[in-house]
Structure formats: structure tokens, C-alpha cells
Structure 1
Amino acid sequence: MTLPPLKRLLQGTLLSTAVMAGVAQADDLPPAIQNLEQQGVEVVESFDAPGGMTGYVGEMQGRSLAFYLTPDGDHVIVGTMLDKDGNNLSEASIQELVEGPKFESAWPKLEESHWVRDGDKNADTIIYTFTDPNCPYCYRFRQQAEPWIDAGKVQLRHIMVGILKEDSLTKAATILGSDDPEAAMHEHQTSFEEGGIEVDRKRVSAAHLDVKANNSLMQELGLQATPSTLYREKDGKINMVQGLPNPQALERMMGPRP
């Protein structure tokens, strides 16, 4: 019997331990969980799940996922678990056991990355956001954040990446390599709808390796969209939002609207 395709696995396929016949067991994980490991899942942690199941969280190709071992120990369900009120229990487990610790350990790397300050250097709230200069959602996120930035409450740190278009890297390097990156970022933002900042080859030469390092950091963290934004919540835990935040997420990041 062949193993289920990866695509089916991530769509929530019910997997039987029968496919593990003849495969050597590793450690003390149940065979159904070993099956997932054979398909490239890195098991991070287990926990008690509703319905007598055992929950697991793990990562695969930078993507976090949750999966549940049935009480008979013979099957695993990969996917999202909701409670009777519609709350996403899988997301909470992933955040607590996988993404929270991962982003906590990554925070010093964000601090040491190549970023552009946007806002008061003494602002109480510091937020890191991966920004591609050709990303319309990055542009809109900066517009959303403007009241907090103008009020001196938030400092955005744009970790400049070049991933979306052919000239994304050169535009990002032009901003990073300028004498005043914050002013260059403002110039790009105000001219975004007309194509943004004009590429300067001298600045590109000075900063293109920095942009490539940021690209690598984004890939290392398993982030696949811009903006990807990391921030500390009130309890000190680090959270992440990919894409354009909704109004509720925006206030969780930045506090009440000024």
C-alpha cells in the first residue's frame, strides 16, 4: 500500500496504521504518528485533546499543523478541531506549543535583522513586519498603522524583503542602502501607487546582501506572505499575523486607536 499523498494529508486525511506494516518503529511514538514522521512531519509536542484523543502539534516544510490520535490508537486525523462554540482549538494549541516558542526564540534575530525604523524611536510598542516594496497589503498596513505611528505610540520596523516581483529586491535594497532609510521608506510609501521609489544602483550594491539575508530569515521562520507581522501581546507572548490585519488584530497589536 502506498502512503497517502502529502496534499491529502494536509487536507485532513484519515490515516490508518495498516500502511505502516513492515516499517520499523522509532522511539515510543504510536505507529500512526510514526507514519506522519515518514511523510516529513516533525512532531513537536503532545497534549490531551477532547473526545479521549491525544493531540499532537508539529511542523512540515515550515508549516505548523495539529493532528489527533483516536482513542483506539489506530488512526490519526490531521486538520482543525473546533469546539461546540466554533472556537479553533487547533490554532490555540499550535500557537502555545509551536509558534509561540519559535517566535520567542526568533525575536533576537528580528532585532538583529536589516530593518527600517518607521516612527518614534522612543515608542512604547515595537512591531516587526516583513515588507516587500511591491506588496499592496504592506502599503495598506502602513496606512492602517499611521494613527498609532503619528501619535508616537508605535514604531514599525520594516524588515525589507524582495520576493514578489523581479524588482522587489532592488527596490528594497534602494531603501535599505540609502543615507536615510526612514525617509526613503516614506518616499516609497507616498509614491507607491505610481510605482514607488526609483531604483538606485549604488544603493542596491550597498544593501542587496542585507535584503537576501532578510529573505532567508523569513523563509527560516516559515512565513509565506507579506506583510508578516510579529508583536508582543500584553502578557509578553509573541504573536504573528500574516497578511493584512483586521481591525481587531490591529488593536491587539497596537493598543486602542488614538
Structure 2
Amino acid sequence: MKIKNLSLGFLLFAFLVFTGYGSECEVEKDSVKKLQNKIGPMLGGGKVLEINKSPVEGLFEVIIEVGDRMIPIYVDCDMKYLISGEIIDIEGKRSLTKEKAMELAKNMAEKKAKQLEKILGQERAGKLFEILGPRITSIKLVDVKDIPGNTVRYGNKNAKYTIYVVSDPDCPYCRKFHKEMKEVLKKAKDVKFEIILFPLAFHKDAKKKAITVLCEKDPKKRTELLDKSMKGSIPVKKCEEGEKTVKDNLKFGELNGIRGTPAIIFPKGIVISGYMKSDKVLEILNALK
């Protein structure tokens, strides 16, 4: 194994260990809460899940959840220094950090499998695993009763199956998926799409576009307006209902860990984030029927 570069995190780690900094770490009852308060703002919405003794004296191993992943990082016993890097067993030529990350990923996959089997049954959950592979760990679950109601509908309103799409009119991958969505509607007549407008903060015009679309009462004109907004600028309007809907949509995303677009909510509240082709959408939908 070749180590080409020593990261800043590794240098700090070396400083702490080889200068004898700190003593054996003892995990206290409020350690997780205390550390979350200290480093939470640095994690970009991440969450401290647990704190354990690390393989190295003087350090805690901290498991954090960021997005759809669980990651090991390290802090000193006094929780003054955070170390983002690898602990490498020199004699064994093993990255203990990578091994831990793989263990966490495996545990996450097994946990998701049990959740999906409970909701879908073993057969349908198995089909979903075959289709998604490693992507299965990124699945989220939402209660369909909590999904916001003021959406933009595409397809037959009486269709048997509904797929919700959390979308931003200025998101490049949302625009790509918007085209794939229409391909799905050409191939399947038993499904409709409901678009949950979710303008991301760094798209400066997205919120104005979303509110404008939601101010339109006529369903057909609303879809036409969203189509136009996906291609470029549209005349801006304001209304109380549109502003409230956008606020509610963003709150829904926050409560359910949806931070990016597109996010596709299939029947049974199965959420899969990211762009996908129309054939993949149909394959997943058929597995869930």
C-alpha cells in the first residue's frame, strides 16, 4: 500500500498521538449531545449518532450521519479537535477507518432491507434490491399522508399509481428528469406524476418561478407554465398560496431528510434521490406493484 500524501487531518492525528496528548477516553452519558452542539454546524446538517473508543488511545471514534451515509471521524478526549482522516494500521497495512466505513455501509444496507421487507414484503423488496444494487442504501421512507397536496400534476388524475417528484425548475438534473417523466407517461397509462416544487436556495430565480407556477389555478396552464420555467425565465407573479406552498414543501423536505433535487417518491413512500432514466422508473414501479 502506498501513501502518497499526508493530509492535514493525519498530521494533526500524529501530533495528538505522538506527543502523548490526552489520556484514555471515557464516553459520558451526554457525550453525543455535547459533541452535536459543538460540531453540528460544521457537518452541514449531519448528525452525531454515537461515540466510541477509537483504536488509538486519546481519541474518540465518532459515527456521523451525513445524507445517506454513516462515516467515522475522530475527536480528542476533550472534544477540542476534530480529525477527518484515516487511522492506518502500519504493521497490518490496513485502513481501520475504511474497514469501519464498510462495516457501517453493510449495517445500513441490512437495516434498509428489513425496513423494506416490512413495508413491501420479501418478494417485492428483493426485486427492488436487484434493480438498485448499492443505491439501495440511499433510499428514504416517508409517510405518504405527509406529502404536501398543492402540486403540479402530469398524467391522468385518476391513474392508479402516483409518483411524486421533488423538483426545482432551475436544477439541471430536474430538467433532464422532466423529459424522462414524459417518456414514462407515454409508456404507462396507469401512473401520474405530482411535482412538489422545492426551490433550492442557491438557485436565485427558482423560488420566484415556483411561486409563479403555484399561483396559476388552472391545472393545464400550470403544467404549461412549469414546462416553460424548466426551459428559461417566465413572467413573475406573487400570491399568498404560492408562497405558503413553497414554505410547506421546504419544511416537508427538512423533516424527511430531503435536501436535494430531484427526489422521486414512489408508491409506499419509497424515496430515491437523483436522476434516473424512464426505463428505470418503470422497472422500479413494476417491482412495487
Query: What residue is the counterpart of 1:166 in the other structure?
Result: 204
Structure 2 counterpart of 1:153: 190
Cross-structure match for 1:96:
113
1:189 to 215, 218, 227: 227
- Write the deviation string for residues 162-216 of structure 1: whole angstroms up to 9, x where unpaired: 21411211111111121124532233315633x1432123xx4431121011112
- Structure 1 position 253, deviation (Å): 3.4
| Counterpart among 199, 221, 225 of residue 256 in structure 2 | 221
Counterpart in the other structure of 1:200: 237
Following superposition of structure 1 onto structure 2, how do residues 122-161 of structure 1 map, counting pairs within 5 Å? 122-150=158-186, 151-161=188-198
Pair 1:175 & 2:213 matched: yes
Structure 1 residues 222 and 98: alpha-carbon distance in aligned structure 2, compared to 1, 3 A threshold: farther
Q: Contact (CA 8 Å) 1:130, 1:160: kept in 2 or not? A: yes
Q: Normalization by structure 1: what TM-score?
A: 0.61
CA deviation map 1:133-177 (0-9, x unaligned): 112221221211213324422211111112141121111111112
In the alignment, residue 224 of structure 1 is paired with which amino acid? Answer: R
When normalised by structure 2's length, the TM-score is 0.56
Given the alignment, which residue of 157, 160, 171 partners 1:121? 157
CA distance in 1, matches of 2:262, 2:210: 14
1:251 aligns with 2:282: yes
Report how far residue 240 of structure 1 moved: 2.1
Distance 1:142 1:217 in 2: 21
Q: 1:109 aligns with which of 142, 146, 161?
A: 146
Question: Hey, what does 1:15 align to over in structure 2?
Answer: none
| Corresponding pairs, count | 202
Instruction: Find the residue that maps to 2:199 and give its secondary structure.
Output: coil
Cα separation, partners in 2 of 1:62 and 1:175, compared to 1, 3 Å: same
CA distances 1:22-77 after superposition (whole Å, capped 9, x unpaired): 534449xxxxxx7799564236xxxxxxxxxxxxxx8736544277xxxxxxx885
Q: CA deviation at 1:217?
A: 1.3
CA distance in 2, matches of 1:59, 1:24: 16
Matching residue of 1:65: 70
Cα deviation for residue 92 of structure 1 reads: 2.4
Q: Which one-letter code corresponds to 1:231 in the other structure?
A: F
Amino acid at match of 2:190: K
Say what the alpha-carbon RMSD is for the aligned residues: 4.0
Q: Name the aligned partner's letter for residue 139 of structure 1.
A: R
Tell me what 1:241 maps to.
272
Residue pair 1:127, 1:229 contacting (<8 A) in 2 also: yes
Task: Give the match's secondary structure for 2:178.
Answer: helix
Distance 2:235 2:153 in 1: 20
Q: Which runs of 5+ in 2 are unaligned?
A: 1-8, 10-21, 37-46, 51-62, 73-95, 120-138
Deviation (angstroms), 1:220: 1.9
* 1:188/1:24 CA distance change after superposition, 3 Å: closer
The structure with more radius of gyration = 2
